[in-house]
Amino acid sequence: MTIDRLGAGAWERAVEQSEICPKDFVSSSTYDDSVTLSLVGLCAGAFKVEIPQFLEMFGEYWVVFASSGPYASLMRVAGSTLPVLLTNLDRLHQSVQAVMADAMLPSFVVIKDEPNLLWVRYCSKRTGLETFATGLLKGLMAKFSVQGTVEIINRGDAGIDYEIRCRQSV
């Protein structure tokens, strides 16, 4: 996202300031969260936004990237509507996990599916990424041309519950 929107120079500056040696950076590898969050902070600074806002922006961007990039076929198979894709998101993550065994991928479970309303539970062993998940949900809404809102309605031991209110049936 940083390269696409701000240019390669902005990305190179962020990587140089991080703990990642540029020649060791491989996009399909996993990194310790401290390294990842350091890069997130540096990129947020380049965008002149706070980290939560950057994570949400990146979540929305990730859907576009995944839908047209290396994960496009997985995204197509996962579903052709918002509720179906959300229901199959854990299966999609299992496919990614097969290739990236060290990745700590979250779980998304649809807990309510009504014509204009979805409740989705987000669970992750990684902390501080709920705004990224918010961005993912907003990005998926855009992917399927669904207009509406995404809000956190509950935080608990079982995870974070999101409410997706849609202006049209999904």
Comparing 17 with 151, the larger pLDDT belongs to 151
Burial class (CB in 10 A: 0-12, 13-18, 19+), 52: middle
The number of beta carbons lying within 10 Å of the beta carbon of residue 55 is 24
Same domain as 44, residue 56: no
Count of domains for the chain: 2
pLDDT of 27: 61
pLDDT for 73-116, tens place per residue? 889 999 999 999 999 998 888 888 887 878 889 999 999 999 99
Q: What percent of the chain has pLDDT over 70?
A: 94
The CATH number given to whatever domain includes residue 75 is 3.90.1520.10
Containing structural domain, residue 13: 1-48
- 61 and 42 within one domain: no
Domain identity same for 18 and 38: yes
Give the E-state strand segments of the chain in sequence order: 107-114, 117-123, 148-156, 159-166
Which residues, in sequence order, are CB contacts of 104 under 8 Å at separation 6+?
30, 124, 125, 126
> Does 93 lie in the same domain as 38?
no
What separation in angstroms does the CA of 145 have from each of 80, 95, 118, 130? 11, 26, 15, 22
